[in-house]
Amino acid sequence: MMETTSSNLEVEARAGGRRTPLLSQRRFWRSVGDHTVLWLGVLFMLAPVLLAFLTSTHDAVTIHRDGLQFLPGDHFGETYEAVLFGATGFTGKATGLVMTFNSMVLGIGFAVGKIVISMMAAYAIVYFRIPFATLAFWVIFTTLLLPLEVRILPSYEIVQKMGLLNSYTGLILPLIASATGTFFFRQFFKSVPDELLEAARIDGAGPFKFFVDILVPMSKTMIAAIFIIMFVFGWNQYLWPTLITTDEGYYTLVRGIKQIIQVWVGANIPEYGQAMALAILAMLPPILVVVVFQRWFIKGLTESDK
């Protein structure tokens, strides 16, 4: 191993002057190759959405006649106005604006609820010696094992029995019933040095004060990171809102997609433009959050996950 390396080096050294341009040329072509692969990747990710957006700026007849559009059209205003203020559903309650509002409520409500509840639980688990602590731990963390999808039917029945269909509570609470957040904050709290708690005790802070004065403000970055992940997760919920909300006044944007598909199937000339506009509207806020708070987002994703 060593020998080959050193002999290679010798060869290179002997070749001297001629070697350098050759080497840099090879490096250049390799870098061109790298960038080409990356650009193909970017194209793969970007093209469908770009196409969807461009198409959404044309009117339905054009699209139906000529297929998807590769250039911007002049129906941007009309299409988006129709989607935002016009009714997508049957009762007229589900305008784009209403759905955006509902999506916000779901995204923010879910993220905030999850963070508050899981921070409190994690604090109790990490910082207190209580009987049944291990039991509590397992009761909470077993929920990591089973996604909502596999217990969807009985979950629906319980929410129905509680009279929470078509309500924000029914929409949000059952989604919170998983321990991802608690697990994440537990990990973080465990990494907080013990001395901080000791210093706080000497400074006269009790358990509640320590939580409010020290631990919560210290977790700011963590909270931001987890908020972004949870907001996107909540905003993007599909199956659960589809089951829980039958009243169109509670439709979220993502739930609205199903509506479009249903209307679409029967239509002669489907409203491709408006469908795409709604899709763009549904993806815009989470994309903005992820791109703008990129650093926190990556931190939250790679440090928290399940």
Partner 1 sequence: MASVTIDHVTKEYSTSGRPAVSDVSLAIAEGEFIVLVGPSGCGKSTLLRMVAGLEKITDGEVRIGDRRVNEVDPADRDIAMVFQNYALYPHMTVRKNMGYGLKNRRLPKAEIEKRVAEAASILQLDEYLDRRPRELSGGQRQRVAMGRAIVREPACFLFDEPLSNLDAKLRVEMRGEIKQLQRRLGTTSIYVTHDQLEAMTLADRLVVLNKGEVEQIGAPLDVYRSPASTFVASFIGSPAMSLLNAASDGSALRIGDVVVASGAGLAAGPVTLGVRAEDFILAPTSGGFAMQVSYVEELGAGRLVHGAVQGQMLTLSISADHPMTDELIIAIDPARLHLFDASSGKRITPRRETAEA
Partner 2 sequence: MKRVIFGSSWLPYAFLAPQILIVIIFFYLPAAEAVRASFYLENPFGGGSTFVGIDNYKDVLTDDNYVRVAKFTFWFSLLVTFFSLAIALLLAVKADTVLRGAKSYRILLMWVYAIAPPVAGLIGVLMFDQHVGPITDVAALFGYKMQIGVNYNDTAAAMIIISIWKQVPVNFIFFLSGLQSIPKAVREAAQIDCRSSWRRFWTVTFPMLAPTGFFLLIINITYALFDTFAVIDVVMKNEPGSNPMTLVYKVYLDGFRGSDLGGSSAQSVILMALVLLLTIFQFRMIERRVHYT
Q: Given candidates 131, 204, 266, 306, which one binds partner 1 under the rule CB under 8 A? A: 204
Q: Are 274 and 59 in contact (CB under 8 A)?
A: no
| Residue 285: Cβ within 10 Å count | 17
* Token reading at 251: 């439709």
Residue 12, interface with partner 1 (CB under 8 A)?
no
Tokens of 225: 């990171």
Q: How far is the CB of 114 from partner 1 (least distance, A)?
A: 22
Q: Rule CB under 8 A: is residue 266 a binding residue for partner 2?
A: no
120 binds, among partner 2, partner 1, none (CB under 5 to 8 A by kind): partner 2
State how far the Cα of 196 lies from the Cα of 190, in Å rounded to an integer.
Answer: 12
CA–CA dist 190, 28 (Å, integer): 48
Which of helix, strand or coil describes residue 229?
Answer: helix
Q: Which two tokens stand for residue 138?
A: 């397992």
- Smallest separation (angstroms) from partner 2 to the CB of 293: 11
Residue in the block written with tokens 């991802």: 180
Comparing CB distances to partner 1, the nearer of 111 and 223 is 223
> What is the Cα 71 distance to its own chain's centre?
29
Q: 276, exposed or middle or buried, with CB in 10 Å at 0-12, 13-18, 19+?
A: buried
The tokens describing 297, both together, are 């987002």
# residues near partner 1 by CB under 8 A: 17
Q: Which is nearer to partner 2, 97 or 120 (CB)?
A: 120
Distance of CA 229 to CAs 61, 122, 180, 233, Å?
A: 39, 18, 11, 6
- Quick check: helix, strand or coil at residue 87? strand
Residue 217 binding target from partner 1, partner 2, none, CB below 5 to 8 Å by type: partner 1
CA distance 172 to 257: 19
Residues 156-195 that bind partner 1 (CB under 8 A): 193, 195
- The yes or no reply on residue 120 touching partner 2 (CB under 8 A) is yes
Q: Closest separation between CB of residue 228 and partner 1, Å?
A: 20
Among 97, 130, 212, 216, which residue interacts with partner 2 (rule: CB under 8 A)? 130
Question: 215 or 277: whose CB is closer to partner 1?
Answer: 215
At closest approach, how far in Å is the CB of 20 from partner 1? 43
Q: Is residue 196 a contact residue for partner 1 (CB under 8 A)?
A: yes
Burial class of residue 179 in the structure, from the number of CB atoms within 10 Å of its CB (0-12 exposed, 13-18 middle, 19+ buried): buried
Which positions from 178 through 217 interact with partner 2, judged by CB under 8 A? 178-179, 182, 190, 194, 197-198, 201, 206-208, 210
Judged by CB, which is closer to partner 1: 66, or 194?
A: 194
Residue 283's binding partner out of partner 1, partner 2, none, with CB under 5 to 8 Å set by partner kind: partner 2
Which of 54, 136, 165, 218 forms a contact with partner 2 (CB under 8 A)?
Answer: 136
Contact pattern for partner 1 over residues 206 through 225, marking x by CB under 8 A: ---x---xx--xx-x-----
Q: Which residues are near partner 1 by CB under 8 A?
A: 193, 195-196, 198-205, 209, 213-214, 217-218, 220
